[in-house]
Amino acid sequence: MEKRQRGMKLSSRIVSNPEICGGEPCVAGTRIPVWVVLSHLATGEDIDTVLRNFPRLTREDILACLEYASYLAMEKAVPV
pLDDT for 43-73, tens place per residue?
999 999 999 999 999 999 999 999 999 988 8
**61 contacts 53 by C-beta, under 8 angstroms:** no
Q: What pLDDT, on a 0 to 100 scale, did the predictor assign at position 8?
A: 44
pLDDT recorded at residue 78: 64
Task: Decide yes or no: CATH 1.10.10.10 for domain 2-73.
Answer: yes
| Every domain of the chain and the residues it spans | 2-73
Which residues are CB-contacts of 61 (< 8 A; sequence separation ≥ 6)? Answer: 13, 27, 28, 30, 37
**Predicted pLDDT at 1:** 33
pLDDT score of 39 more than 80? yes
What is the predicted pLDDT for the residue at 74?
85
